[in-house]
A and B are shown apart, each in its own frame.
Chain A
Amino acid sequence: MSKRLSTSVLIRYAILAYWTLFWLFNLIDKVVGGAHFLWVGRDRFAQFQKYFDSVGLDSPHVANAALAFAGALEAFAFVCFATALGAEWKGHHGSARRWSFFGTLLTLGTFTFFSIGDHWFGDRFELLEHTLFWFISLASWLIFIRMKPGGNGTIAASSTTPASAPEMRFGMTGAIAAILVAVTATAIFRHNASDFPLRTAAVEAEAVGDHLYKVAFPFLGGSTVFENTLAEFKTAHPEEAIQHIYTVPNPLRLKKADALVFYIITEDKP
């Protein structure tokens, strides 16, 4: 007899697990602070400090206090969702509902707090982002309470299907997926073998006019490529001095096909 998993229960777990992890990683980001080996995160202190500085409050303690308040909301939201997840796991659905409600309330409070800041500091993109998260939190709670733990839906196949049919379907799906995984993985590894050196290799500057050279970067190119390119250019053109570098702005690039393109304008050395 196969065990049937209720789709409602799975959705309830998915919602609680998502918000628990969401707030856990937000909290870790605040505790870690700055970019380190294996963690970049976001420098929230720099962001808050600049926001408050822009309204004339340049003391770091103002940014610290606001960040600590946001951190407190996030810490309690995390603990509430983690408690709800634990209660759901133990089958205490009433308790899970109660703690997920408190978690949702703290989530709504956090995003309302952030939205006030977005209006205040004039960051309309963040206002959209926080409003969307605010709504996602509200909607996910309404979905959570409508997913009854004893719901009828299951992820097992219907009992009217012949016993061998689902196994065949699983086998075929698995085979197709395995072939696609193999094809994709091979393509990725081949691309890596051929293109990874582009991450550091210098790019050759192409002469496109009198004392005018074009450098078209590969997508992998970064500051190391830029510096190596400059070094190679100076070695290749010892009689010329770089007078100016012009970065081609986005509207002049071929949509997404062009990576960074810049022109080196030179003059003869005296």
Chain B
Amino acid sequence: MTERAILRSAILIFWTLFWGLSVVDKVIPDVQFLWVGKDFFALFIKFFASLGLKDPLFATFALAGVSGLEAINFALYLTALLSLRKGVEALTDAWFFRAILSSVVLFSLFSIADQVFGDRFQLLEHGLFWLVLIASWIAFKQTPSDESSPVSWSPTSAGRRVLIAGGILTALTAGSIWNFSEATFAKASEPVTGEEVVEGVYKFDFPFLADKRVWEATVNTFMADHPGLKVRYIYTGPSELNTKKKTHLLLYVFTEAQ
């Protein structure tokens, strides 16, 4: 094996998986067991509705067209990957180039749509993907030649040291992850305790693991613990109230005596 062959495989595997999973995401609609993905149908419907084209046929045709192009992309990358496995370099280059060209065209279409629909963030996202695709092609072509890049897999003393150090760090990390998980997993379901910060106003500092079930448990527990109080109003603290990345969600419950 050479650095060239390994890197080329890494590039092709990444893009084959990228387009393969994009196609899977289009085939599986909505949120299912074992798959969330992104609801592109809802996104397209909203985009077209914003133009005044409320008939779902527009969004359906557009999404079908995009999915078709993605499927073609996937097939092109897969063919390039299979050609690489067979060691036919000229064929690999040809198929990878076709795949890159097809992907670049797709991202160009996305970028046009982003401008029409006024979504500048998606325009940046698609522009970056477009650039990474072209740069991937250049990187693919710039991988070192076979003669200059043989990779030795033979064990060396440095190799043994890397394996031992990596193994120790992996064990340490895994142990820490399991400990942290055991210590905090209960927060995914247990109610949060409120703190009265102003007379009749209680603050709840939700942990990162909390979701809507924790919210329900918290409100129910609070009402059970304070039978003399009536919840008047619940205020979700906007992100500006959070301590940057340390606070997940702040909730304020305004109460009055029954």
Selected contact of A42 from candidates B25, B136, B245, CB within 8 Å: B245
**B142 surroundings in chain A (CB, below 8 A):** 142
| B129 CB–A CB distance under 8 Å | yes
Take A55-B35, A116-B21, A227-B198 as given contacts and tell me if A64 and B177 are in contact as well, using a CB distance cutoff of 8 Å.
yes
| A101 CB–B CB distance under 8 Å | yes
A95 touches B198 (CB 8 A): no
Take A135-B132, A247-B238 as given contacts and tell me if A75 and B169 are in contact as well, using a CB distance cutoff of 8 Å.
yes
Take A116-B17, A139-B135 as given contacts and tell me if A45 and B158 are in contact as well, using a CB distance cutoff of 8 Å.
no
**A83 surroundings in chain B (CB, below 8 A):** 158, 161-162
Take A120-B21, A128-B129, A227-B198 as given contacts and tell me if A105 and B256 are in contact as well, using a CB distance cutoff of 8 Å.
no
B3 touches A227 (CB 8 A): no
Q: Which chain A residue lies CB-closest to B200? A: A234
**B165 surroundings in chain A (CB, below 8 A):** 79
| B6 CB–A CB distance under 8 Å | yes
- Chain A, residues 80-122, CB within 8 Å of chain B (1/0): the string is 1001000100000001001101100100110110011001111
- In Å, the complex CA distance between A141 and B11 comes to 13
Q: Which chain B residue lies CB-closest to A77? A: B166
Query: Which of A46-54, A150-158, A162-170, A179-187 faces chain B?
Result: A46-54
Within the complex, the shortest CB–CB distance from B17 to chain A, in Å, comes to 6
**B208 surroundings in chain A (CB, below 8 A):** 43, 46-47
A120 touches B35 (CB 8 A): yes
Q: Which chain A residue lies CB-closest to B38? A: A122
Query: Which of B56-64, B89-97, B179-187 faces chain A?
Result: B179-187
- In Å, the complex CA distance between A25 and B136 comes to 27
**A147 surroundings in chain B (CB, below 8 A):** none
B152 touches A46 (CB 8 A): no
Query: Which of A7-15, A65-73, A188-196, A206-214 faces chain B?
Result: A65-73
| B115 CB–A CB distance under 8 Å | no
Take A40-B245, A120-B21, A226-B241 as given contacts and tell me if A45 and B169 are in contact as well, using a CB distance cutoff of 8 Å.
no
Take A42-B245, A115-B18 as given contacts and tell me if A245 and B240 are in contact as well, using a CB distance cutoff of 8 Å.
no
B176 touches A46 (CB 8 A): no
**A71 surroundings in chain B (CB, below 8 A):** 170, 173-174, 177
Selected contact of A223 from candidates B38, B170, B177, B250, CB within 8 Å: B250
Take A115-B17, A120-B37 as given contacts and tell me if A99 and B7 are in contact as well, using a CB distance cutoff of 8 Å.
no
| B144 CB–A CB distance under 8 Å | yes
| B244 CB–A CB distance under 8 Å | yes
Within the complex, the shortest CB–CB distance from A67 to chain B, in Å, comes to 5
A121 touches B10 (CB 8 A): no
- In Å, the complex CA distance between A266 and B10 comes to 62
A45 touches B181 (CB 8 A): yes
Q: Which chain A residue lies CB-closest to B211? A: A50
**A32 surroundings in chain B (CB, below 8 A):** 176
B203 touches A223 (CB 8 A): yes
- In Å, the complex CA distance between A187 and B198 comes to 36
Q: Which chain A residue lies CB-closest to B142? A: A142
| B216 CB–A CB distance under 8 Å | no
Take A30-B177, A55-B35 as given contacts and tell me if A72 and B170 are in contact as well, using a CB distance cutoff of 8 Å.
yes
B33 touches A56 (CB 8 A): yes
Selected contact of B176 from candidates A31, A54, A102, CB within 8 Å: A31
| A237 CB–B CB distance under 8 Å | no
Within the complex, the shortest CB–CB distance from A74 to chain B, in Å, comes to 8
| A259 CB–B CB distance under 8 Å | yes
Q: Which of A12-28 contact B (CB under 8 A)?
A: 27
- In Å, the complex CA distance between A95 and B158 comes to 9
Selected contact of A67 from candidates B7, B33, B158, B177, CB within 8 Å: B177
A33 touches B179 (CB 8 A): yes
A79 touches B162 (CB 8 A): yes
B184 touches A34 (CB 8 A): yes
Which interface residue of B7, B25, B174, B197 has the most chain A CB atoms within 10 A?
A: B174
A242 touches B254 (CB 8 A): yes
Q: A42-B245, A53-B188 are in contact. List 17 more A-B contacts (CB 8 A).
A: A30-B173, A55-B33, A60-B182, A71-B170, A71-B174, A75-B170, A79-B166, A105-B6, A112-B14, A131-B129, A223-B247, A226-B252, A230-B201, A241-B232, A259-B240, A260-B240, A262-B238
Contact sample, A vs B, 10 pairs, CB 8 Å cutoff? A31-B173, A45-B181, A68-B173, A72-B174, A87-B158, A108-B10, A116-B21, A119-B17, A135-B132, A142-B139
The 9 closest A-B pairs by CB, nearest first: A33-B180, A46-B208, A119-B21, A75-B169, A71-B173, A260-B240, A68-B174, A76-B166, A72-B170
